[in-house]
Amino acid sequence: MTITVDIDVMLARRKMSVGELADRVGITPANLAVLKNGRAKAVRFATLAALCEVLKCQPGDLLRWEAEDTVGE
C-alpha cells in the first residue's frame, strides 16, 4: 500500500509556485519538496491543515491511497 501526494495537482489548479506555498504554510521549500515528491515518512496534522487552508482544499485532495501490485497472484 502506498500513499500518493498530489500537491502538484493543487498547485497547478491554484496557479501557485512551490516557493509561494512554502512561504504561506511556514515550511522550507526543501521540506515541501520532500513531501511533494513522496519521500516523506510522515506529515504533521498541523502541516496538513496549513496546506489545506492555503490551497483551500480537503486532505483527500492532497493524499490518496493506492494498492500495490501483488506479485504471484
pLDDT digits (tens, 9 = 90+) for 24-71: 999 999 999 999 998 999 999 999 999 999 999 999 999 999 888 755
21 and 27 in contact (C-beta within 8 Å)? no
What's the pTM? 0.87
Mean pLDDT of 7-26: 96
Q: Decide: residue 29, CB within 10 A, 0-12 exposed, 13-18 middle, 19+ buried.
A: middle
Q: How far apart are CA 18 and CA 8, in angstroms?
A: 9
Q: How far apart are CA 59 and CA 6, in angstroms?
A: 10
**Which is more confidently placed, 72 or 56?**
56
Where do we find the cell 511556514?
A: 26
Element (H, E) at 62: helix 59-62
- Residue 45 per-residue DSSP state: H
